Amino acid sequence: MGTVAFVGLGNMGAPMARNLLSAGFKVQVYDVVTEMAQELGAFGAIPCASIEEVTRGADTVITMLPAGEHVRAVYLSDDGILDHVSGDTLLIDSSTIDPETARLVGQQAGGKGISFTDAPVSGGVAGAKAATLTFIVGGKEQDFSKAEQVLRHMGKNIFHAGDVGSGQMGKICNNLMLGILMSGTCEALNLGIDNGLDPKVLSNIMLQSSGRNWALELYNPCPGVMENAPASNQYQPGFMSKLMLKDLGLGLEAATKSQSSVPMGALARNLYAFHNMNGNEELDFSSLFEFYQSQSKS
């Protein structure tokens, strides 16, 4: 199966690495927090102490990091990944970051004849554990094909969005849409409730009509309407409000750079900013419903 170097072993990275181990890959692991690499040793991974060590002999390098600054540091700084790999290695960054950083790393890698793809995921920790993540991949057609051979052991849907950076853009666009869907669903349900409608009845009507959308189908934000949704479980995530705020922020940043108009996404971002700062940032993102409801209950 080949050798994979895995850098970044947090809530997402660790279970993803374990799925590669289960699939039969040789997996070398590294994290700035040394214990995290050690822990994965128990499952067959090879803990490494440096970027140089973890990338040695690897066919594929996968990184899963918190933000663009970490990605730039890990790939581009002295003694970073680009200093230690050769043209045979495929680089895959699965962090969710700004497309500009992805393109910058891609260019620097390309300048050394090394293939780079950005491959952000959705599906959360649950998806990482169950190997059911969605990957949205940016990179050359042939690099995508090679990446897919590895990614399919960690995910279910693997999309090719375009050139390097397109993976990030694809995720940004989707999650901008999602933020709008959730805000709108909260708003429509709350308006109905304020005017005497039963949220179950209204949800059912919209699900079978032109108001149908992913948030309403799978994440109904009104407690009691959908048994298995976070809303019926004190808004335990799920997908945390702070991650939605981060993703909508990436959307605004991209729109600012391309001078695109994103009034709906910008408004959704600001609703989440209001909501989160009241101590709700670790709740599921469907808890935005309470921002609307608290209003109408006083």
Active site residues: 171
Asked if residues 117 and 92 have their Cβ atoms less than 8 Å apart, the reply is yes
Q: Which helix (H) or strand (E) holds 258?
A: helix 241-258
Binding residue (CB under 8 A) for a copy of itself from 183, 241, 286, 287: 183
Of 51 and 136, the one with the shorter C-beta distance to a copy of itself is 136
Of 88 and 194, the one with the shorter C-beta distance to a copy of itself is 194
Asked if residues 97 and 86 have their Cβ atoms less than 8 Å apart, the reply is no
Give the residue among 257, 239, 236 at the shortest CA–CA distance from 247: 239
Binding residue (CB under 8 A) for a copy of itself from 53, 232, 266, 282: 266
> Around Cβ 179, how many Cβ atoms within 10 Å?
25
Tokens 């590294």: give the residue. Answer: 30
Binding residue (CB under 8 A) for a copy of itself from 169, 226, 229, 243: 169
204 sits near a copy of itself (criterion: CB under 8 A): yes
Measured distance CA(252)–CA(193) in Å, rounded = 31
Task: For the CB of residue 91, give the shortest distance to a copy of itself in the complex, in Å.
Answer: 20
Task: For the CB of residue 57, give the shortest distance to a copy of itself in the complex, in Å.
Answer: 34
Give the residue among 151, 82, 137 at the shortest CA–CA distance from 113: 82
Measured distance CA(46)–CA(95) in Å, rounded = 22
Give the residue among 261, 290, 263 at the shortest CA–CA distance from 274: 290
Which of positions 61-100 make contact with a copy of itself (CB under 8 A)? 99
Of 89 and 95, the one with the shorter C-beta distance to a copy of itself is 95
Binding residue (CB under 8 A) for a copy of itself from 185, 220, 241, 286: 185
Cis peptide before 279 (omega within 30 of 0): no
Of 44 and 249, the one with the shorter C-beta distance to a copy of itself is 249
Query: Residues binding a copy of itself: what is the number (CB under 8 A)?
Result: 87
Binding residue (CB under 8 A) for a copy of itself from 78, 86, 141, 261: 261
Of 91 and 288, the one with the shorter C-beta distance to a copy of itself is 288
